[in-house]
C-alpha cells in the first residue's frame, strides 16, 4: 500500500485504533504521515527534525488512542497536532519560534500526560542505548545527522567520506535503533520509528 493512497471509513478506523488495532493504526500512519510531513518540514525547515516531529505526532496519537472516538474532525486534529508539535520543536531549538507562534495563536500548547511522558522517556532510553552500541563512525554519522542537524553533504565533507557512505551508514544505524526499540518497546513503537525512516 502506498502512503497517502488508501480509502477508509474514518469512524470505523478510529474505533479500531481506539481498541488497540495496530494494523488500523499503521494504515492511518501511512495515509497521514505522508500528508503532514511536508507541512512539518515547511515549519521546522530540517528533514531530520521533520521526521522526528512526525514520529512524535503518531506516538502521541497511539498513546491517546482511547480518546480518538471523541474527535469529530480527525484530519484537522492531526494537522493541528503537526503544527503544534513543529512549533514546540522550534521553541526548544530555534530563536525564530516566536514568529511562528504569532502565526498560529489559535494552537493550544501541548502538555504531556504522565503516560506520554513515561513512554517518551522509555523510548529515549532505548534510542540512547542503541546509539551507544553503534560502531564509532556510524554513531558519529547518526549524531551529526539527528542531533546536530547536518545534511548528508555536510557530514560527508566533515568526515571526508562520500555522501553515499553517509546515506548507507545512517540507514544501517536507523535500522539498528529500530530493532533495539522493537526489543525494548514492542512492535508498534518500533514500527512508527521504522516507517518514518522508509517513507523518506
**SS3 of residue 74 by DSSP:** helix
Rounded CA-CA distance 200/186 in Å is 23
**pLDDT, tens digit, 9 for 90 and up, residues 148-191:** 778 888 999 999 999 899 988 988 887 787 777 766 655 455 55
95 class by beta-carbon count within 10 Å (0-12 exposed, 13-18 middle, 19+ buried): exposed
Of the listed ranges 85-94, 149-158, 188-197, the least confidently predicted one is 188-197
Interval 92-105 mean pLDDT: 45
CATH, range 10-103? 1.10.1740.10
CB 165 within 8 A of CB 135: no
Helix 114-132 to helix 47-63 angle (10° resolution) is 130
CB 23 within 8 A of CB 65: no
**pLDDT, tens digit, 9 for 90 and up, residues 39-79:** 998 988 877 778 888 888 988 888 888 899 999 889 999 99
Q: CATH 1.10.10.10 spans which residues of the chain?
A: 114-198
What CA dihedral angle connects 48, 53, 189 and 76, to 10 degrees? Answer: -140
CATH match for 114-198 among 1.10.10.10, 2.60.120.560, 3.40.50.11720, 3.40.50.300: 1.10.10.10
Rounded CA-CA distance 20/1 in Å is 21
pTM of the model: 0.55
Q: What is the pLDDT of residue 109?
A: 43
Amino acid at each position: 500500500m502506498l502512503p497517502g493512497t488508501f480509502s477508509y471509513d474514518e469512524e470505523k478506523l478510529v474505533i479500531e485504533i481506539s481498541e488497540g488495532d495496530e494494523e488500523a493504526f499503521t494504515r492511518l500512519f501511512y495515509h497521514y504521515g505522508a500528508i503532514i510531513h511536508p507541512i512539518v518540514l515547511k515549519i521546522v525547515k530540517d528533514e531530520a527534525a521533520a521526521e522526528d516531529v512526525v514520529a512524535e505526532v503518531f506516538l502521541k496519537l497511539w498513546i491517546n488512542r482511547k480518546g480518538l472516538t471523541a474527535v469529530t474532525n480527525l484530519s484537522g486534529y492531526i494537522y493541528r497536532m503537526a503544527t503544534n508539535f513543529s512549533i514546540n520543536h522550534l521553541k526548544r531549538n530555534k530563536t525564530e519560534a516566536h514568529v511562528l507562534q504569532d502565526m498560529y495563536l489559535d494552537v493550544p500548547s501541548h502538555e504531556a500526560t504522565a503516560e506520554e511522558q513515561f513512554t517518551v522517556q522509555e523510548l529515549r532510553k532505548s534510542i540512547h542505548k542503541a546509539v551507544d552500541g553503534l560502531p564509532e563512525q556510524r554513531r558519529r554519522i547518526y549524531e551529526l545527522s539527528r542531533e546536530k542537524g547536518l545534511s548528508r553533504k555536510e557530514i560527508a565533507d566533515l568526515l571526508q567520506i562520500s555522501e553515499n557512505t553517509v546515506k548507507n551508514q545512517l540507514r544501517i544505524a536507523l535500522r539498528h535503533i529500530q530493532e533495539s526499540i522493537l526489543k525494548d518497546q514492542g512492535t508498534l513503537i518500533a514500527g512508527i520509528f521504522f516507517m518514518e525512516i522508509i517513507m523518506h
